[in-house]
Amino acid sequence: MSTPAPGWYPDPSAPITQRYWDGTAWTDSTAPLPGYSAPREATELPVTPVAPAPIAAAYAPAHGYAAAPAAPQVGFGDAIKLGFRKYSRFDGRATRAEYWWWYLFTSLVGFVGYLVLLVVLVAVAPTTTTTATTGTTSTTTTSAGAGIALAVIGFLWFAAVIALLLPSIAVAVRRLHDTDRSGWWYLISFIPFGGIVLLIFFVTESTPGPNSFGPPSLGAAAI
């Protein structure tokens, strides 16, 4: 009988829980089965036989047991939801998809805000300015409306950037955890060429199975 691959499978001791199989034995890492956000009464659960250890994916179907469904992959919308849901969570892990989709979201927010500010600065301000010339001295004044518009848009853009700073650091720390590295590695981004090292860490594959920072991320199922 072949050894099953590492992964999440139904917990032999709990019908609505999945347990991580590391390829040789059941670990202590557990999580709710996808579709169950909270414990339910036994009468509300579908009757599904649970595989006793060490029966798992490779031979569970042959024994009449169903392996736990794979965790859904994180998409763009899922990453945004997870980013705000775990706004200041520095524990746990984040997959590559979760981190890079969030990075794309924050980059788009920053770019769109900058673009709007630039358009207002270039297109609106010149049409609302007046020039007065006295002798050889020329002065240009900007109308109050244009100044207020620039101030409001600039403030909103700055507020959005500040609001996204904490969850961006948090998801970066969780991504480091996913590669079994301490979140303190994030500080190397403040030294020359440290960002390059950090980039390599961020594109590294997830640690298979549980590591020092917990079990693998459940992906979109965690939402």
**Model confidence pLDDT, tens digit, residues 114-171:** 888 888 777 765 554 455 555 555 555 556 666 777 788 888 888 999 999 999 999 9
Name, in order, each residue with C-beta under 8 angstroms of 6's C-beta and a sequence gap of 6 or more.
Answer: 20, 21, 22, 23, 208, 209
CA 80, 81, 84, 87 torsion-angle sign: negative
**Section 37-57 average pLDDT:** 44
85 burial type by CB count under 10 A (0-12 exposed, 13-18 middle, 19+ buried):
exposed
> Greater confidence, 96 or 8?
96
Smallest Cα–Cα separation from 48: which of 61, 59, 39?
61
Q: What are the residue ranges spanned by the domains of the chain? A: 7-63, 76-222
pLDDT for res 96: 93
pLDDT for res 165: 95
In sequence order, which ranges of 34-93 are alpha helices (DSSP H)?
A: 76-85
